[in-house]
Amino acid sequence: MSSLRAFEAAAAHSSFQRAAAELSVTPTAISHQVRGLEAGLGQPLFSRLTRQLVLTPAGLRLFHALREGFDQFEAGIRALRASAGSATVTLSTNTAFAAKWVLPRLAAFRQACPGIELRLHASDTLVDLARGDADLAIRSGRGEWAGLATAELMAERYAPMCSPALGLRHARDLGKHRLIHCDWQPNAQAPAVWPRWFEEAGVPQPRTRTPGTSRTRTRGAASAGLSFSDETHALLAALAGQGVALLSLTLTGAERASGALVQPFGPALETGSYFLAAAKGREREPAIRTVWAWIAAQPGGA
């Protein structure tokens, strides 16, 4: 079963590394399990290309068979939980939205929905809702995900923000301050990154001085500064006065209201919207429908 699970995860992600992250093991362990399965079956399941896994015809047949089997397992488990009176809903969303939007509302949720246990899965990797990795998700983008029922919650925009201690007033002064960057997923359709902001603002990128010389350069200046893989860390760096970051207007409401962060100028970049999502048909299940309705009723929701 462990080899079959490793193969199914690798096939779903087309990657040993992403499968390993899902199963909390090493990529080497996934590779060994898949090779053992191939040896037992006497035929390859993947064509191993450069930085890519491609299912062979045999691998594709096995993948479809396993998907159907795991879906039946999940349906059976959900039925048993329902018959036992359990009402647990797993909500998946990215780490920044979980920390800044969901967690502050958990107490209100428990009061409004006392019969439901809400489990929060915070990850910047999209889970497979059709496979049952989570019951419900809040995702950012355009809402165009095959096999999912979706409802738009709120539009999202990102703008330059910093501590008021920096005294920043004009976009032309950005060259005097460190730029704070945050990684975006490779498939993001409209990422809020500094080169895009300078282009949309019509502002020249800051010129940086080459150490030990009097020469300055523009190319690459918008990539200089601090860089974080987690948006919440970029937010903390901005709060500490470490520089200027492109931050979410949705997730920084409390900091801007208190004056801990300021938005000294625009423009704000459109990055899509936040959407509720569930595997088609599952949004009608009673517990999921209750959580869906509660989230949609929050200020700024659907």
Assign domain 84-154+273-296 to a CATH class.
alpha beta
pLDDT in tens, 226-283: 888 889 999 999 999 999 999 999 999 999 999 999 999 999 999 989 999 999 999 9
Return the pLDDT at 80. Answer: 61
Minimal CA–CA distance to 201: which of 140, 250, 264?
A: 264
Query: Token match 């979706």: residue?
Result: 150
Looking at the chain, the domain(s) classified CATH 1.10.10.10 span: 2-82
8 Å CB contact between 158 and 194 = no
Return the pLDDT at 175. Answer: 87
Assign domain 2-82 to a CATH class.
mainly alpha
Determine phi and psi for 182, rounding to 5 degrees.
-135, 135
8 Å CB contact between 117 and 291 = no
213 — pLDDT class (breaks 50, 70, 90): very low
Return the pLDDT at 221. Answer: 45
More confident residue, 246 or 71: 246
Return the pLDDT at 224. Answer: 59
Q: What is the rounded distance in angstroms from the CA atom of residue 123 to the CA atom of residue 54?
A: 26
pLDDT of residue 71 exceeding 90, the answer is no
- Is domain 156-272 given the CATH code 2.60.120.10 in the classification? no
pLDDT of residue 130 exceeding 50, the answer is yes
Mean pLDDT over the full length of the chain: 85
pLDDT of residue 222 exceeding 60, the answer is no
Angle between helices 2-13 and 57-83 (to 10 degrees): 110
DSSP string, 254-282: HHHHHTSSB--S-PPEEEEEEEEEEETTG
165 — pLDDT class (breaks 50, 70, 90): very high
Task: Please state which of the ranges 116-130, 164-178, 201-215 shows the lowest mean pLDDT.
Answer: 201-215
pLDDT in tens, 133-164: 899 999 988 888 889 999 999 999 999 999 99
8 Å CB contact between 228 and 180 = yes
pLDDT of residue 76 exceeding 90, the answer is no
pLDDT of residue 62 exceeding 70, the answer is yes
Looking at the chain, the domain(s) classified CATH 3.40.190.10 span: 84-154+273-296, 156-272
300 — pLDDT class (breaks 50, 70, 90): low
In sequence order, which residues have a C-beta less than 8 Å from that of residue 208 and are 6 or more positions away? 175, 216, 217, 218, 220, 221, 224
Return the pLDDT at 143. Answer: 84
Return the pLDDT at 206. Answer: 76
Return the pLDDT at 216. Answer: 40
pLDDT of residue 120 exceeding 50, the answer is yes
Q: Which residues pair with 142 in a beta bridge?
A: none
